[in-house]
Amino acid sequence: MAEVAALTRPDAIHWCDGSDEESEALIAQMQADGTLLPLNAETNPGSWLHRSHPDDVARVEHLTFVCTREQADAGPNNHWMAPDEAHAKVDALFDGCMRGRTLYVIPYCMGPIDSPLSRCGVEITDSPYVVANMRLMTRMGADALARIEREGAFVKGLHSIGELDPERRFIMHFPEELTIKSYGSGYGGNALLGKKCHALRIASFQARNEGWLAEHMLIVGIENPQGETHYVAAAFPSACGKTNLAMLIPPEGYRRDGWKVWTVGDDICWMRPGADGRLYAINPEAGYFGVAPGTSAKSNPNALETIRKNTIFTNVGLTADEQPWWEGLDNGQQPATDWRGNAYDPDQGPAAHPNARFTVSAKQCPSWSPMAEDPQGVPISAIVFGGRRASLVPLVFEARDWTHGVLVGAAMGSETTAAATGAVGVMRRDPMAMKPFCGYNFADYFGHWLSFDKTGAKLPKVFHVNWFRKGDDGKFLWPGFGDNLRVLEWMIGRVKGEAGGVETPIGHLPTADALNLDGVTLSEEAKAKLFGFERTGWKAEFDSIGEYLDGYGPRMPQALRDEQQRIAGLLAD
């Protein structure tokens, strides 16, 4: 802190203790200066609106660097800069940047305070908005500082909003130093350093060195009528339905039969092998930083209930009586003001930015699981990969074994969404949904995944899903949302050795009667495409996967190349 203060030269320094009194004072300060706007106290008590600078509304992958001593260690999946050069470049920006501002010191813990898998960090920032969000998203304050003092190790994060100039913006990661430096952005993924920066980019590097996994995955518990709960970890790229699946409400017939869904986490999952050989997972976050547009009573009623109070909304629209509004809300209200603060005009774009967000404590979720606070984590029965694929990929298939499962994750493809800057709707490979977040060479990362398959391991089964398959008319073929539980039920049946499957070169597909489709009407086209296997298309897909793996060069594990060749051979027969 002393070094940073000497560099940044703030007018004041505040050590955050995480108390209610501190939070109230910060919020009052932000309300006074217009950083936070109060929302309707009757409909959204304790809730606020924040408006970002229009040039600062999403992650900036092209300005995000992994700074390792050797470029090959960062890999072709990351933008690289030599550490000395990166420090010099960003420290020149930090020089004197906090004049006229307060420097906030945020000690935080990612994960339950007393969990052996949790890891701590300290973020120094000049943004009270960041402090307010970190309070919701992490275990922040005195307890975290006490753990840091006991352990003597923590991730160091330095952040300044700078001038919010896109030409003076960098998010630098130094995995070998457990250090993050972020300048020029106030957007969550760039500024809340406990989130993607620490919990994925730095933690993935820590995890490889320490023998665990830091993943871009939700964690959900599925309780059947017999009272058994199976925990599933699932990786989807941003804005592909992670939060919806994590907070899923079972269809009426399932609820009547006694099925329950428990939310452990909606975005990030840290897993380690337990003494019994299974993988155990914690959610390192304490809150949700969710995408607002598309969240509705149909898509995610639990999320709507979660954000009714004590929530910070970012870049949503406003109704005339100051209620938050976004596209897809479908609550009968109309926006009066757009996310920029202008009178709403549909010809000038949407009321809410497509990447508008809500930040809220996880404990407010109706389906929140107390197991989210278990220091040992929850045992994972299945790992699920998925993305947006309009064609080819069926609703669900199961990998043959762990190596095949790693290939399924490594080859994952999805159409891009508004969570990152750039074109929307372009298909790109996004291995394990970690393309923007893996803090080291993907080839080494795949090797780390493969290393868990060892004597005594009782690894989860691996599946791939595609809720987004479309018909010839361009419409989605699967109803999705709560009906996705039907697919999870089949997965759990496969884990228990009870559900039927058909072996194909790409994995096991459900047999015709394996999914409970009571109450779901599917056309013949939908059945054929959701549960079918298209050999010609998959042959081209696996040729593409082979080229993709080759792009990582000699570090690519031979086991993955062999698995790709094995399946390509089956498809050629």
Annotated binding site for Mn(2+): 196, 216, 267
386, containing H or E segment: strand 378-386
Distance (Å, whole) CA 273 – CA 159 = 34
Identity at 414, one-letter amino acid code: S
Distance (Å, whole) CA 173 – CA 263 = 30
CA atoms within 13 A on the CB side of 442: 25
CB 182 within 8 A of CB 170: yes
Distance (Å, whole) CA 323 – CA 319 = 5
Identity at 546, one-letter amino acid code: G
CA distances from 354 to 84, 292, 332, 358, 418 (A): 37, 8, 20, 12, 6
CB 399 within 8 A of CB 459: no
Longest dimension (CA), the chain: 71
Nearest to 372 by CA among 149, 143, 155, 117: 117
CA distances from 488 to 27, 227, 499 (A): 41, 16, 11
CB 416 within 8 A of CB 58: no
Instruction: For residue 116, count other CB atoms closer than 10 A to its CB.
Output: 11
In DSSP terms, 283 is beta-bridged to none
Distance (Å, whole) CA 354 – CA 352 = 6
In DSSP terms, 66 is beta-bridged to 80, 173
Catalytic hit among 67, 109, 240, 365:
240
In DSSP terms, 220 is beta-bridged to 232, 263
Distance (Å, whole) CA 361 – CA 307 = 9
Q: What is the CA radius of gyration of the chain?
A: 23
Query: Is beta strand 102-110 parallel, antiparallel or unpaired with respect to 12-15?
Result: parallel
Annotated binding site for substrate: 59, 187-189, 238, 355-357
197 is an active site residue: no
Annotated binding site for GTP: 239-244, 357, 388, 481-484
User: CA angle at residue 539 from 537 to 545, to 5 degrees?
Assistant: 105
Residues recognised as catalytic: 240
